[in-house]
Each structure stands twice: as structure tokens, then as C-alpha cells.
Structure 1
Amino acid sequence: MRALIAAATGLALALALVLALTAVGSPPGKTSPKPLLTTVPAHP
């Protein structure tokens, strides 16, 4: 029974944390205009 209560408490805390972070929202910012290099340079 204690394990069930502990699991329910942990789930409730995790859900509260997710809801709090969702309410705060994402920080303001912008993405870089330069694209990331995703290819490997050719070997000589």
C-alpha cells in the first residue's frame, strides 16, 4: 500500500512540474540564421 501511495505522489508531483513549466512558457529567443553543417567533409 505504501508503494502505491508513493507512486501516486510521485506522479502527482511530476504532473504539477510539467504544468508549471507549461504555464511559464518557453524563453524568448531566436534561432541562428546560419544552417548547421550536417555533412562530413571529403577525405583527401
Structure 2
Amino acid sequence: MRALVAAAVGLAAALALVLALTAVGSPPGETSPKPLLTTVPGPKK
């Protein structure tokens, strides 16, 4: 029974955090037009 209560409390806290972040909104700014490198560049030929 304690595990069920702990799970419910954790789920409620996570939901409250998500709702709080949603209410705050995203920070102002813009994204970079340059793509990020996802692989290590190899030697230039």
C-alpha cells in the first residue's frame, strides 16, 4: 500500500512540474540556422 501511495505522490509531483513548465512558456530567442554536427568529421581528402 505504501508503494502505491509513493507512486501516486511521485506521479502528482511530476504532473505538477510539467504543468508549471507549460504555464511559464518557452524562453524568448531564436534557434540557430546552422546544423549541428552529429558525427566526428573524418580526414579531409
Question: Structure 2, unaligned stretches of length 5 or more?
Answer: none
Runs of 4+ residues deviating >6 angstroms: none
Question: Structure 1, unaligned stretches of length 5 or more?
Answer: none
Aligned residues: 43
TM-score by length of 2: 0.74
Distance 2:36 2:28 in 1: 25
Percent identity over the alignment is: 72
TM-score by length of 1: 0.75
RMSD of the alignment, in Å? 2.1
